Structure 1
Amino acid sequence: MKPKYHITVLANLFVIQATFNIFKSRRLFLTNIVFLTICFQSYSFAITPSEQRAIEQQDIQAKQIIQNERQNLIRQKEADEIEKISKTSYRLVDGSSKKNKIDNKSCQIIKNIQFQGNKKISNFTLNRKFLKPLRKSKLAINRSDFSDDFSFKKARNNDLCLTKNDLLMLHEQIQNYYIDNGYVVARVYFDGLEISKGSIKIIIEEGKLEKIEIKDNSKLNNIFSWRRSLQKFFAFPSIWQDDVINLRDVEQGIDQINRLSSQSAKIGLEPAHKAGYSNVVVNNQIDHFGMFSLVVDNSGQKNTGKIKRKASFNYDNLIGINDNIYVNYSESNGVPLFGSSKSFNKMIGATDLSHRRFSKAFYGAMSIPFGYSTLGASYSSSKYLVTSEGLVSPTRSSGDSQIKTYYFDHVLWRGKKHKISLKAELEQNSTKSYIEQTFIPVNSRETAKANFYLNNTFYISGGTLYFQPKYSKGLSAFGALKDKKGLSPDKARAQFETFGFYAQSNINFPLYLGGSGCSSGA
């Protein structure tokens, strides 16, 4: 008998969502959002001798849908964190200086220039970047700049003839170089006591830390003051008293705080009691610690139920170390929110769809940052039941899966507008499949794989760009299935290698509607 094909046009028409902000407000915010998404899907029900193969394929598709939903959940959470961090401003010091318009043509013979007090940037680097170009431009200049031949010849023997304007420009260049490298409280000045002897000392105070202080509006932190100490230590573990202040290190700690949806931290620098020292002050506005969300929509699949119910819980800084806990649960059991599915009931010969088809998924994740590194783990489980039209009676296929992941993320480099991090992840996957409660080994397996991500984040004007190359390798360890020798190329493998690439942009731009402006993301 020829297969029968049914083509269905589906329209997602509604999403009802309720969000609770915990420990901040007792109000219930109810938002009705209407989406209109037209998608075309085709379902084929083939009444042929290969029915079992079709059911197994349907089983694979059901698992893939659940896996895609899990991946989308993870992607959305990562995108929210990137967007949250990108809104932080770090413009503490304006590195640009106005050009000095001093016009002083008389020059002073300088035999020796020494750097003093610099530890973070070496003498070799400073000489190469500033003194070497200066020697090329100021060595052996015009005879008219000197009062006699002796002074002119002496200047040509590797001595420099510098004007006041030259010294001011040298000061500005060194100062800006320190600022560009994150040493925003560094100060550069000249010791000209021996300038008459042809010697100048360039003294650099690189700027040291006296203390870091976190200020916030949390009543909980006022009661348990040790929470602020923990939060400070886990955000800034590499910054200690008497260390030279580098803005990149401070920015990294602020990013670890601001990745939490409840936190909005900003940096402040204040002069300390000691000369050459500064205090880093973190002003953190805490909106809420936890958020609970309920969603009902029609984003589910027809074979497991279009109406989907979701509940999610997010809690920030539970133990005071910038940690995050996230839990999400979703289910659909074929029972419509409004009306009934008579056509589907008739097709599978069922009256109670909650016992004939369903999908349930749970996802939980937690993460703990420590300076430039982040540790995290997640666990997800899912179950489903699908009822298909059979030759004699409806056929039920079901399955369950569990996924455990553990990851370590470390920032390799960060600059003013670019950050690179490497993420290593171990993923263990266990799936089981059944047809009419009979175990199906071909679709059931234990697998493990290692994932490596090179995350590139660019902070551009009005938004962010995110690029993520990925490498995955199937493992034979951790109780994973091992491929048999001589496995044909068309068979799925447990030991494999894949490469991938993911990109995302979030750019805000103004929209003018009816004379008023608003911003939108793309």
Structure 2
Amino acid sequence: MPQHKSKYSRLIKTCALILIILFTNTNLTLAAPTWTDIEEQNRKARQEEQERRQRERGQDVFLQKEKQGAEVAKLPDETPSFTINTIMIQGDESGQFPWVHDLVNKYLGQKIGWQGINIIVKTLTNACIDRGFITTQVLIPEQNLSTGVLRLQLVPGMIKDIKLADPKLRANWQSAFPARPGDILNLRDLEQGLEQMKRVPSQDAEMQLVPGDNPGESIVLITVKQTKPWKLVLSLDDSGSEATGKLQASETFSLDNLFGINDLFNISYNSDAERHGYKLGTRGNSFYYSVPHGYWTYTLSGYEYKYHQTVESDATSFVSSGRSNNLELKAEKLIYRDQTQKTSVSFGVTKARSKSFIDDTEIEIQRRETTAAELAFIHKKYNGQTVIEYTAAYKRGVPWFGAQEDPAANADDQPTTHYNIWTLDTRLSTPVTLGKTKARYSAILSGQYTKDMLYASEFMSIGNRYTVRGFDGEETLSAENGWFLRNELSVPLRNAALEFYLGLDIGQVSGASVDQSIGRTLAGSTFGLRGNLEGAQYDMYIGKPIKKPAGMQTSVPILGFQVLCQI
């Protein structure tokens, strides 16, 4: 009998708590962050930071450092010379070079002699080289210029073969290189192929061109160096919250070339490191798989995350918990590259689910099952040692793959799952000199804008180690719109294995739900050390707020760390 009474009392308590949540302020409940939303905001900020670091680790390949220059030069006055009204570009593959006609047409109607012809040939040759056709030639056949017609022969350089220097290696160039034997040789195709092979952490690739049997033919010879294809990375940091576990541990197992096609695979497990048991804690696992195909890269990733915490008061106590999972499929294509820059577009679809519970009873009003599609534009440019990268994206909530009906379809004052969100992420890194000391300045400007009212899981959140530093992350500011700017000056000590850094960050949130936040603006500073020590990477820092709302609670100063060890 007492056992039944206990179950009955627990049921009454749970129902009462849910009723309070439902009827205290329904609209506020829908838009205000739940613990599941807060954990999701932190996870999303962590993922975005990891994606930035992954792009930074990528090895961009630019084999051609400077442009030759293909400006239309003024032709000299010479004798003999002839007025040229037609310039013919001959060759079976001349149709593959349509821009050549635009260049030569600028010389029409001019008097041209042999010096002028050589200038035109040099201009066309430089134009070919600048566009990556480094083995293509422009020749001058025998002709009579008195007819007013100048004929030029375009002989494209061809790829005779692409092969590995060591054919016994488990390496695959076919999935990496967009070029094939028999194609016109373009250095951009070869740079792309090397990048796709170098993206594999345990693999490096170099290339050389070997003359073929026939004039204009080249053999692309690829030298590949490989190390151990797998690794285990153990990580410990204090990025969690006091409510669900401050110390967070993760184990990530990575396997390169899983199917031998320059593909990447990893699985990860993370949890609260102190293992508080039923009282509080987090659990999560994720996977990542990526495979290249020439100018395309396809990625499939997913995660599952769970948390629980005990909420205690004088009257009662209960366990608040939540779980969420996410599956994303993305395709990215490089659409342009030259000697110093490259541009890509990507399209991805994400399916997400989340649920919240009180004492194992679901709060159904907080259940989310959504689908979003995102189109992104990525541009990266090098200017010497300065690198700047832009990522502009449009994200749209869509009714695909079983997504729940949009509550805002029948009510204007409800958050919508069919939102329109615009985001911009800009990253700058450049060397600076402080007296005789070499340093590096880096900046990240990230922002989000929408006209819609959003659920809190889609809010822009600031006030943690991934956005505005100087705060402990226990309490953040979040709303539909927002931005943050991170500034960092890093100085190497003795060698590149150790550096200290200074950070100064600022951010702001706004939007339809900003009145539910205790403030709008944050600014903070940080000072830290990071480096490598016997195979372990570490990052230790101290920070403090510079500007925050009066009611916002945070530790002063804040201390943080992260340690990674690779096996």
2:377 equivalent in structure 1: 454
Greater share of helix: 1
Give the one of 176, 183, 187 matched to 1:235. 176
Partner of residue 216, structure 2: 276
Counterpart secondary structure, 1:354: coil
Judged with a 3 Å threshold, the aligned counterparts in structure 2 of structure 1 residues 486 and 382 are, in CA distance, closer, same or farther, namely closer
Kindly provide the CA deviation profile for residues 205-257 of structure 1, in whole angstroms up to 9, marking residues without a partner as x.
Answer: 110011112347xxxx73xx5x43xx211112x42222111122222222222
1:342 is aligned to: none
Corresponding residue for residue 186 of structure 1: 136
Letter in 2 for 1:250: L
Q: Please give the residue correspondences for 1:467-478 in structure 2 after superposition, counting only pairs within 5 Å.
A: 467-478=390-401
Measure, in 2, the Cα distance between the counterparts of 1:259 and 1:61. Answer: 38
**Equivalence for 2:40:** 67
Give the superposed CA RMSD. 3.5
Aligned 8 A contact 2:329 2:349 in 1: yes
The equivalences for 1:440-519 within 5 A come to: 440-484=363-407, 487-494=410-417, 496-509=418-431, 517=438
The secondary structure found in structure 1 opposite 2:277 is: helix
User: Normalising by structure 2, what TM-score?
Assistant: 0.66
Q: Helix, strand or coil for the counterpart of 2:431?
A: strand
Q: Given the superposition, is the C-alpha separation of residues 100 and 180 from structure 1 closer, same or farther in structure 2, using an over 3 Å criterion? A: closer
Per-residue CA deviation, residues 282-301 of structure 1 (Å, 9 max, x unaligned), is 33333442222112222210
**Counterpart contact for 2:69–2:130, Cα < 8 Å:** no
Matches within 5 A, 1:351-500: 353-484=276-407, 487-494=410-417, 496-500=418-422
Partners of 1:101 and 1:409 in 2: CA distance: 43
Quickly say closer, same or farther: Cα 1:69–1:214, change in 2 above 3 A: farther
Distance in 2 between the 1:234 and 1:124 partners? 29
CA drift at 1:354:
2.4
Letter of the structure 1 residue corresponding to residue 212 of structure 2: A
Match of 1:128 in 2: 102
Give, in whole Å, the separation in 2 of the partners of 1:367 and 1:122: 32
Larger radius of gyration: 1
Q: 1:508 to 1:257 in 2, by over 3 A?
A: farther
Given candidates 211, 227, 251, the residue that maps to 1:311 is: 251
Instruction: Please list, as runs of the form range in 1=range in 2, the aligned pairs for 1:46-195 lying within 5 A after superposition.
Output: 60-91=33-64, 95=68, 105-109=78-82, 113-117=87-91, 119-121=93-95, 125-130=99-104, 132-136=105-109, 138=110, 160=111, 162-192=112-142, 194=144
The letter for the 1-side match of 2:120 is: L
Q: Does the Cα contact within 8 Å between 1:171 and 1:189 map onto a contact in 2?
A: yes
CA contact (8 A) 2:61 2:191 kept: no
Name the SS of the counterpart of 1:384 in structure 2.
strand
Q: Deviations over 1:303-324 (max 9, x none)?
A: 0111111212222212211101
Equivalent residue of 1:126, what SS?
Answer: helix
Check 1:476–1:255 CA distance in 2 against 1; reply closer, same or farther (3 A cut): same
1:97 and 1:449 map into 2 onto residues whose CA distance is 45
Deviates more, 1:163-172 or 1:193-202: 193-202
Counterpart of 2:39 in 1: which secondary structure? helix
Alpha-carbon distance in 1 for matches of 2:68, 2:89:
21
- CA–CA distance in 1 between the matches of 2:32 and 2:232? 32
Instruction: Decide whether aligned partners of structure 1 residues 446 and 196 sit closer, same or farther in structure 2, where only a CA change above 3 A counts.
Output: closer
Task: Return the letter of the residue paired with 1:270.
Answer: V
In structure 2, what is the Cα distance between the partners aligned to 1:448 and 1:113?
56
Structure 1: state its 5+ residue gaps: 1-46, 139-159, 336-352
Counterpart Cα distance in 1 of 2:416 and 2:427: 34
Q: Is the 8 A contact 1:408 1:425 kept in 2?
A: yes
Q: How far apart are 1:466 and its partner, in Å?
A: 2.2
Secondary structure of the residue aligned to 2:302 is strand
1:307-346 correspondence runs (5 A): 307-332=247-272, 335=275
Provide the secondary structure at the position in 1 that maps to 2:128: helix
- Aligned-pair identity in percent equals 21
Is the contact between residue 471 and residue 497 of structure 1 (CA under 8 Å) also seen in structure 2?
Answer: no
* 2:236 equivalent in structure 1: 296
When residues 329 and 66 of structure 1 are mapped into structure 2, their CA distance, relative to the original with a 3 A threshold, is farther
SS in 2 for 1:192: coil
SS in 2 for 1:254: helix
Q: What is the one-letter code of the residue matched to 1:172?
A: K
Distance 1:445 1:199 in 2: 71
Q: Name structure 2 gaps, 5 residues minimum.
A: 1-16, 444-567
Are the equivalent residues in 1 in contact too, given 2:282–2:305 (CA < 8 A)? yes
Deviations 1:243-283 (A, max 9, x none): 11112222222222222233333332222121110122233
How far does the alpha carbon of each residue in 1:387-425 deviate from its partner, in whole angstroms, 9 at most, with x for none? 122242322101111111112222233333333322221
Structure 1 Cα separation of the partners of residues 318 and 163 of structure 2: 65
Taking structure 1 as the reference length, the TM-score comes to 0.71
Can you list the C-alpha shifts for 1:316-363, whole angstroms capped at 9, x where unaligned? Answer: 21221110112222211655xxxxxxxxxxxxxxxxx42200011212
